[in-house]
Amino acid sequence: KAGVTQTPRYLIKTRGQQVTLSCSPISGHRSVSWYQQTPGQGLQFLFEYFSETQRNKGNFPGRFSGRQFSNSRSEMNVSTLELGDSALYLCASSPEERLGYNEQFFGPGTRLTVL
């Protein structure tokens, strides 16, 4: 079974631009979560989607948004980029409805650099 894939792997943008990141979960997984990883901050939860519905949202500004398609693929969008948005963005999928009770399978991440 193919793992979680994320595209692109690396991205460089300038302040004020917007960016869209893509995630394809493991086949059959309906839950997709997004995390932001920065040095010293661990993985900060952005949001989680299940069957095209956002079920959970972290404490990030409205510039961060996401969606999930009927095939479970997910995208996240960041508008009006700021320098502080530079981070590794990780996508994770899970096969079960009870997200926190099951292991999540992570993709390799998208490294976003904002100049």
Partner 1 sequence: DQQVKQNSPSLSVQEGRISILNCDYTNSMFDYFLWYKKYPAEGPTFLISISSIKDKNEDGRFTVFLNKSAKHLSLHIVPSQPGDSAVYFCAASASTGGFKTIFGAGTRLFVKA
User: What CA–CA distance (Å, rounded) separates 21 from 100?
Assistant: 23
Residue 90 CB, shortest distance to partner 1, in Å, is 6
Q: Are 87 and 21 in contact (CB under 8 A)?
A: no
Which of left, alpha, beta for 28 (phi over 0: left; psi -120 to 50: alpha)? left
| Binders in 10-39 for partner 1, by CB under 8 A | 33, 35
In the complex with partner 1, which residue's Cβ is closer, 62 or 103?
103
* Burial label, 65 (beta-carbon count in 10 A; 0-12, 13-18, 19+): middle
Chosen residue from 74, 109, 112, 114 binding partner 1 by CB under 8 A: 109
In the complex with partner 1, which residue's Cβ is closer, 20 or 88?
88
Position 55 contacts partner 1 (CB under 8 A)? yes
The footprint of partner 1 (CB under 8 A) covers 4, 33, 35, 40-45, 48, 55-56, 58, 90, 92, 98-101, 103-109
